[in-house]
Chain A
Amino acid sequence: MNGALEIGYGQLAFALLFVVIGGIASLRLKLGLERDLLWGTVRTVAQLLLMGLVLTWVFAQQSWWIVLGLYAVMILFAARIIRGRLRERAIPVFLPTFVSMLLSYMTISYLVVNFIVQAEPWYLPEYFLPIGGMVIGNSMNAIAVSLDRLFSELRRRRAEIELHLLLGATGAQASAMIFRDAIRAGMIPSINSMMGVGLVFIPGMMTGQILAGADPMVAVNYQIMVMLMLVGSTAIGSVLVVTLVRARCFSRDHRLILRRASSE
């Protein structure tokens, strides 16, 4: 790798022009998006600069507990975002989401960095954090979709679930079909992106490596690994989270706790 061409702050300022064009369009067409555009731009710049500083520091430290600690914080934010996206408030999802993401994603990132990339040491932050970040970013959406589907279907099909309960089913048996639906709903986007990759779009990571001067074939191998890893982590993450959260939707004596939107 001979490194990417550098972009200075002056050139970045030039890129602001794109946002200004968006702002003008918003004003002219009365889209009412100016504030969001401005706030989004400020957050993008601030969050990425902060990330840059943190990464620079972490790369300098090369300590396993700082890497894992930072990764745990990233997962914490992901769990918060998932909770924020759900309309359901009766069932607490934060803790089960956080715990299962933490366990499964740490394991997956470790396996990928240590056994596939074979980085030395296994927590090499230049590899562990970006790879781990991709795992979180992709399956965060899947988990949010799965949970949303789980809750809406449990409410909508309450009578059917209770029919099974009344015939002697456990909560897990009575909601088996909804469980499958929920996982499937979360997994479909990542399977779709496996179908489209390379034909419809060049994925971000590969783009980044090519821009950084990597041989396209090396970038391709990385991308293949990433795609496979993302499908696996999405599956494991959503199965774990939905399993834990579904268990919270039923009482120990197999009652569906979620009520209809309009209580009788």
Chain B
Amino acid sequence: MLRIEGLTFAYPATDASAAPGPPLINGLSLELGSGEIVLIRGPSGCGKSTLLRLIVRLEEAQDGTIVLDGEDIRRIPVTTYRRRVALLQQLPVMTDGSVRDNVRLSFRYTHEVPHTDTVLRARLAEVELDGVGLEVPAAQLSVGQQQRLALLRLLAMRPRVLLLDEPTASLDPDAALRLMRVAARGWDAVPPALLVVSHQELPIQDTTLRILAFRDGRLASVSRDVDTSSGRDA
């Protein structure tokens, strides 16, 4: 469904006259199937988050192609594309206003009709925010609640692919895992494929999950045995 081939990226040099730095992402390839869950591991600063930013086109790759459902993403209008391939930012970003205002942001840039309050309450319950009032200023929520609200905002767009950037940056590993489960379920008969990057170990027991390691600007598969054992320890 989402196919990445030969992706290469280096941040431009800070000085305009100098050459760009060494590539952070170097000929990376990845294939993500429908409904699949992939976890990418790697140390901080290795380029995992940049990979996600490249996928949602917040950065521009120097080389390589990304194809969604057989179509080169450069041919899809970017504002449409970003609603099909959604990114949950590392730290939740709330705008001024209530919980309701924040969820309605999902519909601001489309012609879709926003959810009614009844639907909204049901959706809030799905992301474990059932006790939270719609009128509550979003800024008053805890970081964990804000991150779940941010996820709800993305799920409301019914994306085909959902990218999670370092869920443990704002949540503890268990909460991050619960967030991943909610994200993977989605709201439709066809749940979104999930691509998660994390520098921290997650106590995962799910065997359907594919784990990749980020090394030298590329992805390498990780032996299942190693991972499940570390998962059991956690």
Contact = CB atoms under 8 A, between A and B. Distances in A.
B83 A165 contact: no
A167 B106 contact: yes
B95 A169 contact: no
A215 interface: no
A165 B60 contact: no
A170 B79 contact: yes
Interface residues of B, number: 31
Nearest to B59: A255
Interface in B78-106: 78-80, 82-83, 86-87, 89, 91, 93, 95, 105-106
B11 A167 contact: no
Nearest to A255: B58
B58 to A, nearest CB: 6
Given A159-B93, A160-B93, A162-B58, A253 B78 contact: yes
Contacts of B16: 89
Contacts of B106: 167
Interface string B143-156: 00000000001100
A179 B17 CA distance: 30
Nearest to A174: B109
B79 A254 contact: yes
B178 interface: no
Interface in B109-153: 109-110, 153
24 contacts: A89-B16, A159-B91, A160-B93, A162-B58, A163-B105, A165-B58, A165-B82, A166-B86, A166-B154, A167-B153, A167-B157, A168-B83, A168-B110, A169-B108, A169-B109, A170-B109, A173-B109, A251-B60, A253-B74, A254-B78, A255-B57, A255-B59, A255-B60, A263-B11
Interface of B: 11, 14, 16, 45, 49-50, 56-60, 74, 78-80, 82-83, 86-87, 89, 91, 93, 95, 105-106, 108-110, 153-154, 157
